[in-house]
Amino acid sequence: MPVATAPTATCVIPQTHLTDLPPFPSVFDPARPVEVDIGCGKGRFLLARAAANPNVQYLGIERLLLRVRKIDRRVQRGGLTNVHLIRLEAGYTLRYFLPSHSVRCFYLFFPDPWPKRRHHKRRLFDALFRTLVWSRLEPGGEIQIATDHLDYFADMEKALAADPRFEAVPAIARTREEQTDFELIFRAQQLPIVACGFRARPASALAPALLARLAAEGVPALPPQPDEGTS
């Protein structure tokens, strides 16, 4: 005789097929801010931040299943109710899961640097990623970046500083508990850690000529989102 078992508690979305993404509003309360840790790794920053800010909703994006499972167990053990995890590619998640202007802050900490020049095309941060970040941030929302890789950092900072959709803000101060797992390793090796922050300027503050110039420079436009319709 089959035994009914209670579903195992999990904060991972989607729970069945990767293509079965739940609608964003069915997961996140629109009355509370959402912050997203892109490539959250083993989750040290995400969990510390979520524990310290129970009113904020957190999403960790991570493509490695074992890391997602490990964070999920720690979320359950810690009784955190404000964390969700998604095991998907980050660009895909921004494009197809996050609605426009829904995120208060993106954290991009120690993204894979792909140091060899011929591998730079594998880096997450490129022109399309910048467009996705800007379009998913609330007006005035921020992206916070930290890395030990000085060349990659210079490329990201230069691109954001030259992009009229963003303006520089101070990098956030993080407590010792909020240092990431990879950061602890790099700090132990005495590697320099660099950080910056940028705020999304509202579209209304951007001159139409600037938006046209970006388009002319090849900054890709986004296709219509499922929630935005085409008619």
Interface residue with ligand SAM among 62, 72, 142, 148 (CB under 6 A) is: 62
CB 122, CB 132: distance < 8 Å: no
Give me the 112-151 binding string for ligand SAM, x by CB under 6 A, dash otherwise: x-----------x---------------------------
Beta strands in the chain (DSSP E): 12-13, 34-38, 57-61, 83-86, 103-109, 137-147, 166-169, 194-200
Which span sits near ligand SAM by CB under 6 A: 39-47, 48-56, 204-212, 213-221? 39-47
Q: Closer to ligand SAM at the Cβ: 85 or 200?
A: 85
- The residue range among 149-157, 163-171, 181-189, 203-211 that interacts with ligand SAM, by the rule CB under 6 A, is 181-189
Which among 4-12, 38-46, 95-103, 206-214 is the span making contact with ligand SAM, rule CB under 6 A?
38-46
Task: Kindly tell me which residue out of 183, 196, 200, 201 binds ligand SAM, with binding defined by CB under 6 A.
Answer: 183
Could you tell me if 57 and 35 are in contact, meaning their C-beta atoms sit under 8 angstroms apart? yes
The pair of three-digit structure tokens given for residue 206, joined into one six-digit string: 């951007």
- Cα dihedral 158/164/165/167 (nearest 10): 60
Check residue 109 for interaction with ligand SAM (CB under 6 A). yes
Nearer to ligand SAM, 88 or 214 (CB): 88
Which of the following is catalytic: 29, 37, 72, 112?
112
Catalytic site includes residue 112: yes
- Alpha carbon of residue 192 to chain centroid: 23
- Contacts with ligand SAM: how many residues (CB under 6 A)? 19
In whole angstroms, how far apart are CA 81 and each of 36, 41, 66, 103?
Answer: 15, 19, 21, 18
**Chosen residue from 11, 61, 143, 160 binding ligand SAM by CB under 6 A:** 61
Residues with Cβ within 8 Å of residue 197, at least 6 apart in sequence? 142, 143, 144, 145, 168, 169, 170, 171, 172
Mind telling me the catalytic residues?
Answer: 112
